[in-house]
Structure 1
Amino acid sequence: MKHFILYTFSIVLLGCNNNARNQISPIAKEYIDEVISLLEQKSIKKNEIDWTVFTNKIYLHAKNSKKIEDTYPCISFAISELKDNHSYFEPAKNSTKIENLNPLPILVDENVPRDIGYIRIPFFIGNNEAVKDYIDTITEKISQQNKAELKGWIVDLRDNFGGNMWPMLVGIEPILGDGIVGYFLDNNNNYEVWKVLEGKVFLNSEVVEQNTNLIHLKNEKPNVAVLINAKTASSGEAISIAFKGRNKTKFFGTKTFGVSTGCKSYTLSDSSRINLAESIFVDRNKTKYGSSIQPDVKCNDNESLQVAIDWLNKID
């Protein structure tokens, strides 16, 4: 009897899905299929999803869609069903860009003792000209504090919610050091290497960003305190992970936001866009993330700077 009930339920569900598909226009169905195919091939959650069940849910949600625009709520629903907390859908006819909804916050540098270096690595969103200004600003701030007698450095990643990670990575290179500092790991278990070397950042063998004004620290391989919090996200988490596994390094604060995944932007046939999480971040020691980075020393935002200073002062 139990098997009969399950069988009957499956037949009813299949009938509902067939009815839903029949009530979707060919152009709407083609668009939905385009999206589902992309998600099934590229999503970091690819191997965790039953795609037959997933597809049936999407079709039910798209019931009565006639135009491509009618499917937009269904596409947003599909993205939410991935449950990666990072991907998003931006419709072509959406005149309000995500970055324009609220003014971007202004992050202020902290004051620290003169025998400790301090550098804040803020979020970055901008064009090629802005990239150079961003890198030059970080380089200049490091250069102004570059003294052999420094006890160490504080790298402040609090409130860095992301953007383009490559200018951040090449900017912090003098403190981070050269070599392999992390990886992307995709749903087919393929690794892509993050490497910094003499003013250049490589993704595998390709140079993706460079600093034409590279400086070297007078105090080589310093002690480093990294500050993180719940607003450290995405590319901010990537820079956190680049410091994971580095010698003489300790993390202070609270756990990060929890989207340590790599996204790629895909333009759909109607010029809408899906920003899709398709890899997780991995540190230099091959420790896998994909969620929050935990601090070594847990403390509130208003305490983490002083706790980090105290740690650097105690080191011989």
Structure 2
Amino acid sequence: MKKIILLLYLIHFSIVMQAQNFQNANVKKFIDKSINIIENNAVNVENITSIKERLYKKSVDFKSVDEIAPLFKEVFKDLNDYHGNLKYNGKTYGWDKLTESTNTYLKNKIKNETKVKSVIINKQIGYIRISGNDDFAFKKVDSIANDIVSNINSIDSKKIKAWIIDLRINTGGNMYPILLGLKEFIGNNVIFGGFVNSKNEITGNWEIKNNKLLIDKNLLERKSELIFPSKNTIPIAILTSGYTASAGEMTAISFIGRDNTFFIGEPTANYTTAVQGFEINKFAAINLSTDYVIDRNKKVYKQNIIPDYEVKDGDNFENLNKDSKIKEALKLFKQFSY
């Protein structure tokens, strides 16, 4: 016990001594403000002491705050947070963790397949592909949600007996318009997901109540409606890939635990955290992963989503009937009597 106390004291003493020798007081001020924000908000702070000590050590001789920003690449790595970053003077500094996906076909499709796509497969299966979006300022919620609804309505009829929701190239963005567009499929009178912090405290709920979408009790409304709104129990296959990230993953999680629902494809990208922004000064802000996502059964997602049926490669947007993930979905749908 005495050894542990002595070690903690030596670490504290080392940090204090470094703090006394800063060449520029503003450098220390910037670090202290950043560390305070991280310590009070980040979902993972187990390395915070070593992070602070290393920042002090590396920047003690810095003449300008401008020199600090590149150090935050390592900070986010130590936080195990590649969803967050530092914004400083118009530049972004974060942990550039490489994706584990080797699916070059889908990687190339991300660049060009940016619109919602819907078709009928085998006369009875509805198919909708939803790519990522850039609505980080919440200015396109209506247009994105209405586009999804329009695509569903364009192929829907009483003949459609099951749906495939394709999130393989959904690299993220704003999840709320996607959930708003798909709310009838997700369910009704159900809390279907939300967030928890590092203390496992619920910090937000996603709910559909009386066919209305509520995010943290805030009502999100849609301007268009489905022609055939009864979707609660219709069989659904969710398709995922290593490029399904952030909002794409959260959309997928919103369906986990739903009856008659299958997940097919490849493990997702592992961006299953909520990110919040905090101002450091007028030139800098820090985006942090502050919460983990939970599904309707309160399962916490600290890692990526593993599909029920893992199918690698074989993607074919040009001929969906030859697409390996879609073929697996059609096989699974055969258990249902239409």
Q: Does TM, normalized by the shorter one, top 0.5?
A: yes
What are the residue-to-residue correspondences of 1:303-314 with 2, within 5 Å? 303-314=324-335
Residue 187 in structure 1 maps to residue 187 in structure 2: no
The residue type paired with residue 31 of structure 1 is F
Residue 119 in structure 1 maps to residue 148 in structure 2: no
Structure 1 residue runs of 5 or longer lacking an equivalent are 97-102
SS in 2 for 1:262: strand
Superposition TM-score, scaled by structure 1 size: 0.86
| 1:263 CA displacement | 0.6
In the aligned structure 2, how far is the partner of 1:202 from the partner of 1:71?
Answer: 41
Structure-1 residue corresponding to 2:225: 214
In the aligned structure 2, how far is the partner of 1:37 from the partner of 1:256?
Answer: 32
Q: 2:111 aligns with which of 98, 102, 105?
A: 105
In the aligned structure 1, how far is the partner of 2:51 from the partner of 2:11?
Answer: 17
Contact 1:267–1:274 (8 Å) recurs in 2: yes
Runs ≥4 residues deviating over 4 A: 10-17
Contact 1:86–1:276 (8 Å) recurs in 2: yes
How much identity, in percent, do the aligned residues show? 24
In the aligned structure 1, how far is the partner of 2:56 from the partner of 2:243?
Answer: 35
Q: 2:263 aligns with which of 245, 251, 260?
A: 251
Residue 176 in structure 1 maps to residue 186 in structure 2: yes
| 1:169 CA displacement | 0.5
Against the structure 1 CA distance between its residues 293 and 95, is the aligned structure 2 distance closer, same or farther, given a 3 Å change threshold? closer
What are the residue-to-residue correspondences of 1:81-160 with 2, within 5 Å? 81-94=78-91, 105-107=111-113, 109=117, 112-126=121-135, 127-160=137-170
CA RMSD for the aligned pairs? 2.8
Structure-2 residue corresponding to 1:99: none
Q: Deviations over 1:83-132 (max 9, x none)?
A: 12211112124299xxxxxx972326375222101111221213555322
Contact 1:225–1:249 (8 Å) recurs in 2: yes
Structure-2 residue corresponding to 1:56: 53
Structure 2 residue runs of 5 or longer lacking an equivalent are 94-107, 316-323
In the aligned structure 1, how far is the partner of 2:230 from the partner of 2:211?
Answer: 16
Contact 1:20–1:64 (8 Å) recurs in 2: no
| 1:17 CA displacement | 7.0
SS in 1 for 2:82: coil
Aligned length: 303
Against the structure 1 CA distance between its residues 250 and 238, is the aligned structure 2 distance closer, same or farther, given a 3 Å change threshold? same
Contact 1:17–1:59 (8 Å) recurs in 2: no
In the aligned structure 1, how far is the partner of 2:179 from the partner of 2:262?
Answer: 18
Q: Deviations over 1:16-70 (max 9, x none)?
A: 8724751341111011100000000000003xx1433331122112231222212
What are the residue-to-residue correspondences of 1:17-36 with 2, within 5 Å? 18-19=17-18, 22-36=21-35
